[in-house]
Amino acid sequence: MSAFPRAAELGLISCHVCKLVCADALDGDDPSDEMACPRCGSALHRRKPSSYVRAWALLIAAFLLYIPANVLPIMRTASLNDIDDNTIISGVVELWVKGSPDLAVIVFTASIVVPMLKFLSLGTLLVSCQRGSDWARPQRAKLYRLIEFIGYWSMLDVFVVSLLTALVRFNLLSRVEPLPGVIFFGLTVVLTMLASMSFDPRLIWDGRDSDD
C-alpha cells in the first residue's frame, strides 16, 4: 500500500499545545526552526527539538536513580517495641506474608514491573527510531501511547507512603515515616514521564515508504 501524504508534504504543521493545524511557513528542513502558533502563541516545530538527546538523558538519569530507589528503604514503621525499615521489595514480601497477596501483586507491578517495562520500551523506541528501522511501526506507535497511559500509575508507592504517613499520625502507639528511597523513586517516575514526553512519536514514521 502506498504511503499516505505527510503533513509536511501538504504544507501543514500542528501545534503541540492547542492542536491547531497551521500552514507550514518554516524555512528549510531544519527541525530547530520555529514559528508561532497564531492561536496560542506557542512555538511550532516539525519535530521536537533535540528529542533524542533529551529523551536519552532523562531515561539514563531515571535508570540511575532507580537503583537507590530499590536499595534504600522507602518507609519506616515504628511502634512501642519495634522499628522496621522497608525497601520496595521487602514491603512487597511483607504484604504477601501478612496475608495481602493482592496488594503485594499490585505494588510489585506498579513499582517494579512498570518502571522496568518503561525503561525497556523507551529504549527500544529510541534505538529503533535512531536506526531508521521500519519494523512494526504501528505497534511501536501503540507502545508509545501505552507508555503515556501507564506512566502515572508508577507513583503508587509514593501515594501509599504519603497516605500511611498521614493516617498513622493519628495513632499514638505507632507512626510511619518516609525515608530517602521514596524520594529517589518519585524522581525516577517523574524523569521517565519527562523522557516519554520528550520523545517525538512522529520520529517512528520518518523515512517510511509505506503505511503497512
Of the residues 15, 31, 46, the one at which a domain ends = 46
Residue 128 lies in a domain: yes
Q: Establish if 16 belongs to a structural domain.
A: yes
Same domain, 10 and 101: no
Q: Number of structural domains, the chain? A: 2
Is there a domain that residue 63 lies in?
yes
Closest of 93, 89, 100, 96 to residue 185, by C-alpha: 89
**87 and 187 assigned to the same domain:** yes
In this structure, are 3 and 88 located in the same domain? no
**Percent of the chain surpassing pLDDT 90:** 12
Q: Is 39 found in the same domain as 95?
A: no
Beta-carbon count within 10 A of 57 CB: 15
pLDDT at 2 > cutoff 70: no
pLDDT above 70 covers a percentage of the chain that reads: 75
Residue 68 lies in a domain: yes
| Domain carrying residue 89 | 50-205
Q: In the predicted model, what is the mean pLDDT of residues 133-141?
A: 83
Residue 72 CB-half CA count within 13 A: 15
Strands (E) located in 21-180 = 21-23, 35-36, 43-44, 75-79, 83-86, 174-178
d(CA 165, CA 159): 10
User: pTM here?
Assistant: 0.76
Q: Is the pLDDT of residue 22 over 70?
A: yes
- Is residue 153 in some structural domain? yes
Q: Contact at 8 Å (CB) between 89 and 71?
A: no
DSSP per position, 54-98:
HHHHHHHHHHHHHHHHHHS--EEEEESS-EEEE-HHHHHHHHHHT
Compute the distance between CA of residue 82 and CA of residue 174 in angstroms, rounded to an integer: 9
**Helix, strand, or coil here: 39?**
coil
Q: How far is CA 45 from the centre of its chain?
A: 22
- The string of pLDDT tens digits covering residues 43-101 is 777 777 788 899 999 999 999 999 998 888 877 776 667 677 778 788 788 778 877 77
Chain segment 164-187, per-residue pLDDT in tens: 555 555 555 566 677 788 888 888
In a domain, 210, yes or no: no
| 31 shares a domain with 54 | no
Q: Is the pLDDT of residue 10 over 80?
A: no
59 and 17 within one domain: no
Residue pair 161/132 in contact (Cβ under 8 Å)? The answer is no
Asked whether residue 212 is assigned to any structural domain, the reply reads no
**Residue among 67, 59, 192, 64 at smallest CA distance from 130:** 59
d(C-alpha 34, C-alpha 25), whole Å: 9
| Pair (39, 83) in one structural domain | no
End-to-end CA distance of the chain: 6
User: Is residue 31 domain-shared with residue 65, that is, in the same domain?
Assistant: no
Same domain, 91 and 154: yes
39 and 71 belong to one structural domain? no
Assess whether 40 and 54 both reside in one domain: no
Q: CATH code at 174? A: 1.20.140
Cell of 174: 505507632
Query: Residues 51-66: pLDDT tens digits?
Result: 889 999 999 999 999 9
137 and 110 in one domain? yes
Find out whether 88 and 181 touch, Cβ atoms under 8 Å: yes
